[in-house]
Amino acid sequence: MAVLRAAKQTLRREIKRRVAAVSEEEKRRQSEVVSQLLLRHPKYVSAQRIAAFLSMKDEVCTREILSDVFKQGKSCFIPRYEGSGSSHMDMLKLHSMEDVETLPLTSWNIQQPADDDHSREEALSGGGLDLILMPGLGFDQQGRRLGRGKGFYDTYLERCIKHPKGKPYTIALAYKEQLCEEIPVDDNDVLIDEVLYEDHKSCAGK
C-alpha cells in the first residue's frame, strides 16, 4: 500500500506540473472542445439526472455543460464534500446557473451547498443518477483514474451500485495533459466508463 501511495503522489505532482504549464487560453480551448464532445454524446443526450462538478483551475471548465443541463431541462446535481478526514460526499440538486453563483465557498476554495442547507434533494435518496461527470488529476485509456487522494468519488460510486437504479455511466473530462500511460490503482479504485478529451476516439475500459 505504501508503495502504491508513493507512486500516486509522484504521479500527482507530475500531472500538476504538466497542467500548470498549459496556458489559460489553451485550457479554455480544450474545455470548449471537450464540452462540445460531451453535449453530443449519446449518454449525455439520453440522461435526465446528471451529476456534474464545479471545475477548479486545473480541471476542464464545466460552466458551458452546466448551462446546457439547465437549458435542456435535465436535473443537475453537484458534490458536497464532508471535511475532517471523511470520504463521504453527497450529490445535491441545483436549480439554475443563478443558484450556482450564490453557493458559498469552502475552506478548499470550492463552491458547494452549505452544510445546513437541507432543502436540496440528494440524488440517491430520489431517482438515482443516469450519468456522473468525473473530475480527477489523471486518467488512462483503460478507465483508471487518479483523484486527489480523498476517495470521495470511489466511495460515492459504491453507494450508487447499491441503489435500485444501479451504477450510472461515468465520463471523465480531461485535458490531453492529464492522460497517462497507466494509472496505479488498487481494489478500492472504481474504473470509469469513458474519458473525454481532445482527439478522443473510443471508449475506455467497460
Binding residues: 8-12, 54, 59, 145-153
| 97 or 106: which leads in pLDDT | 97
pLDDT mean over 76-104 = 91
Binding residues for ATP: 8-12, 145-153
How many domains, the chain?
1
The cell numbers describing 120, all together, are 436540496
- State if pTM tops 0.75: yes
Q: What is the CATH number of the domain that holds 6?
A: 3.40.50.10420
Q: Is residue 203 in a domain?
A: no
Select the highest-mean-pLDDT range: 26-30, 54-58, 151-155: 26-30
State pLDDT tens for residues 99-144: 999 999 887 778 899 888 888 999 999 899 999 999 999 999 999 9
> Nearest Cα to 178, choosing from 41, 39, 12?
12
Q: Is residue 205 in a domain?
A: no
Q: Reply yes or no on whether the pLDDT at 204 is more than 50.
A: no
Q: How far apart are CA 90 and CA 88, in angstroms?
A: 7
Q: Is residue 118 in a domain?
A: yes
pLDDT for 201 equals 55
Q: Is residue 71 in a domain?
A: yes
Q: Is residue 206 in a domain?
A: no
Q: Is residue 116 in a domain?
A: yes
Binding residues for substrate: 54, 59
Q: Is residue 201 in a domain?
A: no
User: What residues make up the domain containing 160?
Assistant: 2-196
Backbone φ, ψ for residue 75 (5° rounding) = -90, 130
Backbone φ, ψ for residue 76 (5° rounding) = -115, 130
Q: Is residue 112 in a domain?
A: yes
Q: Reply yes or no on whether the pLDDT at 206 is more than 70.
A: no
CA distances, 78 to each of 58, 112, 122 (Å): 18, 8, 9
CB atoms within 10 A of CB 51: 25
Q: Reply yes or no on whether the pLDDT at 205 is more than 50.
A: no
pLDDT for 148 equals 86
pLDDT for 200 equals 67
